Amino acid sequence: MAKKSSTNLNFEQALKELEDLVERMERGDLSLEESLKCFERGVELTRICQQALKEAEQKVQLLLEKGDEQSIVDFERED
């Protein structure tokens, strides 16, 4: 399993890798050790996706609060 650096993954990449992992695990041909590694990676990818969705939700909320103003305010990412 090729592991990309988590910091370099965007939402779509993380979701695709997560889908591939799930598909691989559902086949049922992995050893226990491989399954645990896949599960660990899956948890990491899930967190990446959740963070990206949280940030998108915050951006939408800021846009809705701003109303008709043209500027978008960046916010600090919580780590």
The tokens describing 66, both together, are: 């701003």
Q: How many domains does the chain have?
A: 1
Q: What is the CA radius of gyration of the chain?
A: 17
Residue 70 lies in a domain: no
* Residues 9, 14: Cα–Cα separation, whole Å: 6
pLDDT tens digits along 18-75: 999 999 999 999 999 999 999 999 999 999 999 999 999 999 988 888 776 555 566 6
Confidence of residue 16 (pLDDT cuts 50, 70, 90): very high
- Return the CATH number at 57: 1.10.287.1040
**How many C-beta atoms surround the C-beta of residue 20 within 10 A?**
14
Residue 44's domain comprises: 10-65
- CB neighbourhood size of 16 (10 A): 12
Where do runs of H (alpha helix) occur along 11-31?
11-27
DSSP state at residue 30: S
